[in-house]
Structure 1
Amino acid sequence: MKKILLFADPGIDDSIAIIYALLNPEIEVVGIVSSYGNVDKKQATENVAYLLELANKTDIPIIGGTTRPFSGEIPTFYPEIHGPEGLGPIVPPENIAGELLNFTEIFNIIDQNPGLTIVDVGRNTSLATAVILSDDLSEKVKEFYIMGGAFLVPGNVTPYAEANFYGDPVASSLVFDSLKNITVIPLNVSNNSIVTKQHVATIQESTQNPLIDILDEVMDYYINAYKKLIPGLVGAPLHDVVTLSLLANPDMGRFIYRDVQIQQTGKTKGVSIADLRVKPEDTDKNVRIYLELDYPLFLEDFIRVMSTKIPTE
């Protein structure tokens, strides 16, 4: 079983990733770091708390992450994609707000869980802050899974850059320059993790639990938003879910090892760069980059995990 500390900014795809992680018997979520990104930190925290309430997992700690990038700029949010509250049409009940623990709780969780995996599916500001505050993060954490980047494929927030790296390229650059054992899941892979309304219907017909009861409303909103962005698309890509799916099923895609750099300014702000020329594999390079996805296996895994009952202690 993989114990994970999840950094997220839910957001629809982050929220579905949280649901996937809570339902997957191969994953144990030991904490969630709530930060700005798709929505502001306050709304992200309310969404996390709501999902944990639905899952009857309120014992999972929520740690307060960052509110803006290292540049100090006011973040841009995306209600047209994620809805005004980050969960499409769903508004979490006002009595569910979530109790945030101090950021330093991250280091207690790491110390209490040897062999921990950190998964960051949002802006990298909070993870970079942990890097700054710790001088041995790579030694204490087994591996880091990061959703972000686009290698020689178009971006999704600019013609060149993916949203997470673009949101705070200084933080992303610090993370890739400082940490070891990084696996990155870029748009090359995540753009292909398409889930349709029919897939959601199949899941809902297979199981009943409060987490899955909201899935159709959330995904309908997300799919309709993507139809406006990409005419002809029949579903929506679940960028953050496929990151967790590859964590649980590392042979589900093809990867290479390379060094990665993040551009920080100008027209190429947020662009991820790696030498992708064909060459003998070099596992001494810092980053494992997934470039291809076995889509049928991903879909099978997603439907299977999401169709399971909420695990009970």
Structure 2
Amino acid sequence: MKKRKIIIDCDPGIDDALAILLALNSEELEILGLTVTSGNVPARIGAKNALKTLQICGRLDIPVYVGEELPLKRELVTAQDTHGDDGMGENFYEEVEGTILDNGVDFIIDTLKNNKDVSIIALGPLTNIAKALMKDKEAFANLDEFVSMGGTFRIHGNCSPVAEFNYWVDPEGADYVYKHLPKKIHMVGLDVTRKIVLTPNIIEFINRLDKEKSKFITEITRFYIDFHWDQEGIIGCVINDPLAVAYFIDRNLCKGFDSYVEVVHDGIAIGQSIVDSFDFYKNKPNAHVLTHTDEKTFMKMFLKRIFKGYEDVIDNIEGVI
């Protein structure tokens, strides 16, 4: 099997950690590096969380780079109320002995320049990508594919009535990427990710499987579950980011349509992704906007990859998922 080379640009973050776990356990992917920006937590905290997640899978050989620590123009607003002060559900794990490198933006540029088959899966605000584009747009001519977890189409936002958090944190960065990236963006927005819910039933189930990974997942999602109950009345927690990784691997998991998209910079609708589904602007589509997903198929894929050796058991848990 030829592995697909990827950079994961992220802001770990509980669901980022779960997405990284999925990527690490997917044989189709070769992770060249993790680049971290500020979003769920400040970038330096997120980089430490990236190391912790890599350690769980014994993959500290994958480099972690800190990129931009502030949005292009806005003051940074984090989601530590959602993910905990440490970004990992208030578990305050011991720091992992590993190297955190600087110059994440340069790593993105250099990697694209030296390879013609690298894709980027962006799980956080698009600040690093925007900065890299501003610095060297020509490098992105080598980009294979670009997947962004962010935005909304017909569903309400998660940090305002209309905005998804990643684009809300740095709307100028998100809009710049949509308007300047030479490749069409696969927009994995809340319309599909809201359907991906890690329920108490699933958590109870995985605790019967691999103890180390299930302990980590249970610990980091406890705070997240409490938040979702208090804020949205959901029993469980929405895990947005893993769907972006899963969709990159298997396009059959989601359906959508091509459209022109731009992101609002300010005002009451700051961070909203404007999807021109009726082609009012007559602009060339710059995005493939996802609208439907098969959440049960996703969840089985997610669990079977992280908990290898239990595939038969997972295939027969219709009452759990």
**Structure 2 length-normalised TM:** 0.89
Correspondence for 2:195: 192
RMSD of aligned alpha carbons? 2.1
Query: 1:306, 1:204 → 2: CA distance?
Result: 13
Are 1:7 and 1:120, in contact at CA under 8 Å, matched by a contact in 2? yes
Deviation at 1:85, TM superposition (A): 0.4
In 1, distance between residues paired with 2:69 and 2:188?
24
CA distance in 2, matches of 1:88, 1:96: 21
Alignment of 1:129-278 (within 5 A): 129-179=131-181, 180-208=183-211, 210-231=212-233, 233-277=234-278
The 5-angstrom pairing of residues 8-87 of structure 1 reads 8-73=10-75, 75-87=76-88
In structure 2, distance between residues paired with 1:94 and 1:12: 16
CA distance in 2, matches of 1:84, 1:115: 37
Local SS of the residue matching 1:205: coil
Equivalents in 2 of 1:109, 1:199: separation in Å? 38
Runs (4+) off by over 6 Å: none
- Asked if 1:285 corresponds to 2:288, the answer is no
Letter in 1 for 2:298: F
Q: Secondary structure at the match of 1:136?
A: helix
**Cross-structure match for 2:5:** 3
Structure 1: distance between partners of 2:251 and 2:65: 28
2-structure distance, mates of 1:108, 1:219? 35
* Contact 1:246–1:253 (8 Å) recurs in 2: yes
TM superposition shift of 1:82: 0.5
| Distance apart, 1:251 and its partner CA | 1.0
Contact 1:50 1:96 in 2 (8 A): no
* Distance in 2 of aligned mates of 1:35 and 1:83: 17
How far residue 97 of structure 1 moved from its aligned partner, in angstroms, is 5.8
- 3-state DSSP of counterpart to 1:214: helix
CA distance in 2, matches of 1:159, 1:13: 21
Give the total of aligned pairs: 304
Query: Contact (CA 8 Å) 1:51, 1:211: kept in 2 or not?
Result: no
Range with bigger deviation, 238-247 or 218-227 = 218-227
- SS of the residue corresponding to residue 40 of structure 2 reads coil
In the TM superposition, residue 95 of structure 1 has moved relative to its aligned partner by: 5.3
Change over 3 Å in CA distance of 1:95–1:121 after alignment to 2: closer
Per-residue displacement from partner, 1:258-300 (whole Å, max 9, x unpaired)? Answer: 1101111101111111122499xx9x62211111111111111
From the superposition, tell whether residues 101 and 85 of structure 1 become closer, same or farther in structure 2 (CA, over 3 Å).
Answer: same
CA deviations over 1:153-203 (Å, ceiling 9, x no partner): 211111111111111111001000011121010110111111112212323
Deviations 1:217-276 (A, max 9, x none): 112221111011111x22111110111111111111111001101111101111111122
- Give the fraction of aligned pairs with identical amino acids, expressed as a percent: 25
In 2, distance between residues paired with 1:90 and 1:308? Answer: 26
Q: Distance between the aligned counterparts of 1:94 and 1:234, measured in 2?
A: 31
Deviation string, structure 1 residues 27-48 (Cα, Å, up to 9, x no partner): 2211000111101111111111
Deviations 1:75-106 (A, max 9, x none): 12222210110110322313536321423122
Contact (CA 8 Å) 2:22, 2:305: kept in 1 or not?
yes
- Residue identity opposite 1:275 in structure 2: D
The whole-number CA distance in structure 2 between the counterparts of 1:199 and 1:207 is 13
- Higher relative contact order, structure no. (Cα contacts within 8 Å, ≥ 6 residues apart): 1
- What's the secondary structure of 1:7's corresponding residue? strand
Greater displacement, 91-100 / 109-118? 91-100
* AA matched with 2:254: G
Give 3-state SS (helix, strand or coil) of 1:264's partner.
coil
- Contact conserved, 1:197 with 1:219, CA < 8 A, in 2? no
Q: What SS does the corresponding residue of 1:255 show, helix, strand or coil?
A: strand
In structure 2, C-alpha distance between the alignment counterparts of 1:183 and 1:200, rounded to whole Å: 29
The match for 1:304 is 304
SS of residue paired to 2:208 = helix
Once the two structures are TM-superposed, the CA of residue 51 in structure 1 deviates from its matched residue by 1.5
1:191–1:239 Cα contact (<8 Å) kept: yes
**Structure 1 residues 294, 49: CA separation in 2 closer, same or farther (over 3 Å shift)?**
same
| Deviations 1:100-146 (CA, angstroms, capped at 9, x unpaired) | 14231222322444311101110111110111111224311101000
Structure 1 distance, partners of 2:216, 2:83, is: 14
- Do the aligned partners of 1:203 and 1:306 also contact (CA within 8 Å) in 2? no
Cα 1:136–1:278, aligned 2, differ >3 Å: closer, same or farther?
closer
